[in-house]
Amino acid sequence: MKYRILLDLKDQLFTAVDINDSNRFGNGTTIEKAIANLKNKAA
């Protein structure tokens, strides 16, 4: 799975967004947590 990482500076949250489907994303306080949340939603 390919994804891009975004950082919300106001809330200090990372977001991992699936490159092929921008409706699939995962948030987390670290990049690793955001990616894990994305993969859990994709499964």
The per-residue pLDDT for 41 is: 87
The per-residue pLDDT for range 9-35, each reduced to its tens digit, is 999 999 999 999 999 999 999 999 999
Within 8 A by CB and 6+ apart from 19, the residues are 2, 3, 4
DSSP characters for 17-33?
EESS-TT-EEEESSHHH
The per-residue pLDDT for 21 is: 94
Report whether pLDDT(3) > 80: yes
Report whether pLDDT(42) > 80: no
Q: What is the pTM of this model?
A: 0.89
As a whole number of angstroms, the distance between CA 41 and CA 10 comes to 24
